């Protein structure tokens, strides 16, 4: 436990190899880091063909993609803005995954968090910022957690599979938002103007998350997310609760014999997952939109799952992974503008990237195994 080893993590595995047998196995490291990059490249190559078919110049397009995301400070900042909710969602996904629970419900949990945050910040707008902002964050976390707790409870007590319940809870959350934005929470100004746009009243300035870079959307939520990532890492590998949660995920049977209440920890994992997704909703409201509006989730509930995978389901890995995935989204938009291709191309590319990367992970694992075998053989001969 002093050296956490997510089973999935090729990276940390290769690191462990190094710990055991000097000289360091740089090959494994390279494989762990290089292959995903290679996979992305391969996916973009396929994308290049699509671009050609669309009559766009792939070079120009990808120049725009990379430049737009990483070439300018605006791009970098924009990537960080997107990375923030991605990271928060990913953290929740990771916790659930570690307990062997698949959480497809992040979309609904984001909405729950955003709804609660908006309601709370407006209801208690009289409070001073230093009190209002943290309280709102908590409210949103609680709402998201509740949205994850329900499937958790259903799974623990009634054996209702979480994939089914989380999918349904997503739809319910969406309708709940429609309901509230259609009347109870709609911006009075919209009613007055007779435009009836489905968005809440704008939050008072003192309820906003402070800006990190003035005149950009980069807000304190980014720092919060990174701190929480470290916290989740600590929780999973340095606390007894985290240990039990992972034990439940690895072997429910053994966990039961060890006196660990398995259902309780499955429930906990989904509740925490919901809470983190809820936080993603909060920071989007307090940091970016400053109000609740349709499409608040921007699909982060799904892309967060991908970010979690890119981070090898490790909380710390999820930090760079979320940023990379965020910049991919930003760069893709820039590309769309630069060569004026349909935005659907962006989704297509992302899908390809995901498929190639998940695929490459296995190749990496196998290469490492082969190297290990080779080493073993030598030792075997010697021994």
Partner 1 sequence: MAELFTLPVLLGIAFSGIRLATPYLYAALGETFAQRSGVLNLGVDGIMLMGAFSAFFVALNTGSLWLGLAAAAVVGLLMGLLMALVSITFKAEQGISGIGLYMFGLGLSSLLFRTTVGTVKTISGFQPVKLPLLGDLPILGDIFFRHSLLVYGAFLAVPLAWFILERTTWGLKIRAVGQQPAAADSLGVNVTAVRYACTGLGGVLAGIAGASLSIALTNLFQENLTSGQGFIAVALVYFGGWRPLGVLGGALLFSFVNAFQLWMQVLVPEMEADIAVMLPYLLTIAALAVAVNRTRQPAALAKPFERGEA
Partner 2 sequence: MPTLTTASSPAPGLTPAPASAIARRVAIQRVAMRGIVKRFPGVLANAGVDFDVNAGEVHALLGENGAGKSTLMRQLYGLYPPDAGEILIDGQPHTFHSPADAIRAGIGMIHQHFMLVPTLTVAENVALGLRSSREPQMDLKVVAARLNTLAEAYGLKVDPGAYIWQLAVGEQQRVEILKALYRGASLIILDEPTAVLTPQEVDGLFATLRRMAGEGHALIFISHKLHEVLAISQRVTVLRDGHVVGERAAGSVGRQELAQLMVGREVKALPAQAVQTGGVRLALEGVRAQGDRGTEGLRGVSLAIHAGEVLGLAGVSGNGQRELAECLAGLRRVSAGRVLLGGRDVTHASPRERLLAGQAYIPEERMRDGAIKNFSVLENLFLHDHAAPNYARWGVLNTNAMRARAAALVQRFNVKTPGLETPLKNLSGGNIQKLILARELSRQPRVLIAAQPTRGVDIGATEYIHQQLLAQRAAGTAILLISEDLDEILALSDRIAVIYEGAIMAVLPRGQATPAALGLLMAGVHGHEAG
Partner 3 sequence: GGATATTSPSGPFRVAVVMPSATTDMAYSQSMFQAMKAVQAEMGGESALEFAWSEGMFNVPDAAAAMRDYATQGYDLVIAHGSQYGASVQEVAPDFPDTSFAWGTNVDTFGMPNVFAYTAAAEEGGYVNGVMAAMLTQSKIIGITGPVEVGDAKTYIDGFRNGVAATDPSITINATWTGSFSDVALMTEAANTHIAAGADILTGSSQSVVGSIGAAKDKGGVLWFGTQADQATLAPELVVASQVYDWVGVVKDMIAKHQAGTLGGEVFTLRLSNDGLKIAYGTGYSLPADVRSAAEAAIAGIKDGSIKPLP
Residues that bind partner 1 (CB under 8 A): 8, 50, 53-54, 97, 102, 104, 154, 158-161, 163-165, 167-172, 175-176, 178-179, 182, 302, 305-306, 308-309, 313, 342, 344-355, 358-363
According to the binding rule CB under 8 A, does residue 199 interact with partner 3? Answer: yes
According to the binding rule CB under 8 A, does residue 15 interact with partner 2? Answer: no
Binding at 102: pick from partner 2, partner 3, partner 1, none (beta carbon under 5-8 Å per type): partner 1
Rounded Cα gap, residues 339 and 226, in angstroms: 34
Based on the number of CB atoms within 10 Å of its own CB, is 202 exposed (0-12), middle (13-18) or buried (19 or more)? middle
Q: 162: which residues sit within 8 A by CB, 6+ positions away? A: 101, 102, 103, 104, 105, 151, 152, 154, 155, 270
Q: Least CB distance from residue 267 to partner 2, whole Å?
A: 16
According to the binding rule CB under 8 A, does residue 76 interact with partner 3? Answer: no
Torsion of CA 276, 281, 285, 287, to 10 degrees: 40
Q: 133: which residues sit within 8 A by CB, 6+ positions away? A: 207, 208, 209, 286
Binding at 189: pick from partner 3, partner 2, partner 1, none (beta carbon under 5-8 Å per type): partner 3
Choose the stretch contacting partner 3; rule: CB under 8 A; options: 149-157, 228-236, 247-255, 341-349.
341-349
Q: Least CB distance from residue 63 to partner 3, whole Å?
A: 15
Q: Least CB distance from residue 297 to partner 1, whole Å?
A: 12
- The helix/strand/coil state of 338 is helix
According to the binding rule CB under 8 A, does residue 198 interact with partner 3? Answer: yes
Rounded Cα gap, residues 83 and 76, in angstroms: 10
CB 205 within 8 A of CB 219: no
Q: What count of residues does the chain have?
A: 383
Residue 191 burial (CB count, 10 A): 12
According to the binding rule CB under 8 A, does residue 100 interact with partner 2? Answer: no
Binding at 205: pick from partner 2, partner 3, partner 1, none (beta carbon under 5-8 Å per type): none
Half-sphere exposure of 76 (CA within 13 A, CB side): 6
- Closest to partner 3 by CB, 105 or 287: 287
**Could you list the residues that contact partner 3 (CB under 8 A)?**
68, 74, 78, 81-82, 174-175, 178, 181-182, 186, 189, 193-199, 202, 215, 217, 288-291, 293-295, 298-299, 329-330, 333-334, 336-337, 340, 342-344
């Amino acid at each position: 436990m002093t050296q956490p080893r997510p089973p999935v993590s090729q990276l940390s595995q290769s690191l462990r190899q190094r710990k055991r047998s000097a000289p360091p196995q740089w090959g494994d490291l390279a494989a762990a880091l290089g292959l995903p990059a290679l996979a992305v490249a391969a996916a973009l190559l396929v994308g290049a063909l699509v671009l050609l078919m669309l009559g766009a110049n792939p070079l120009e397009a990808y120049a725009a993609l990379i430049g737009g995301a990483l070439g300018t400070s605006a791009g970098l900042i924009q990537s960080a803005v997107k990375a923030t909710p991605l990271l928060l969602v990913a953290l929740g996904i990771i916790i659930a995954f570690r307990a062997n629970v698949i959480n497809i419900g992040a979309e609904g949990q984001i909405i729950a968090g955003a709804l609660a945050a908006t309601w709370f910040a407006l209801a208690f707008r009289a409070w001073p910022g230093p009190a209002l902002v943290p309280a709102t964050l908590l409210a949103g976390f609680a709402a998201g957690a509740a949205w994850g707790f329900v499937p958790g409870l259903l799974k623990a007590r009634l054996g209702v599979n979480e994939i089914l319940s989380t999918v349904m809870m997503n739809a319910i959350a969406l309708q709940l938002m429609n309901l509230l934005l259609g009347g109870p929470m709609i911006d009075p100004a919209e009613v007055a103007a007779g435009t009836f746009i489905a968005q809440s009243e704008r939050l008072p300035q003192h309820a906003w998350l402070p800006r990190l870079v003035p005149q950009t959307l980069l807000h304190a939520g980014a720092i919060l997310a990174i701190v929480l990532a470290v916290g989740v890492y600590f929780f999973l590998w340095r606390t007894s609760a985290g240990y039990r949660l992972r034990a439940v995920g690895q072997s429910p049977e053994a966990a039961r014999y060890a006196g660990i209440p398995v259902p309780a920890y499955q429930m906990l994992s989904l509740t925490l997952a919901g809470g983190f997704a809820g936080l993603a909703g909060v920071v989007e409201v307090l940091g970016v939109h400053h109000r609740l509006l349709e499409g608040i989730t921007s699909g982060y509930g799904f892309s967060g799952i991908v970010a979690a995978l890119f981070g090898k389901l490790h909380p710390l890995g999820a930090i760079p992974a979320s940023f990379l995935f965020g910049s991919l989204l930003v760069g893709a938009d820039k590309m769309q503008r630069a060569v004026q291709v349909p935005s659907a191309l962006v989704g297509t590319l992302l899908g390809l990237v995901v498929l190639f990367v998940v695929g490459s992970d296995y190749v990496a694992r196998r290469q490492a195994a082969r190297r290990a075998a080779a080493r073993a053989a030598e030792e075997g001969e010697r021994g």
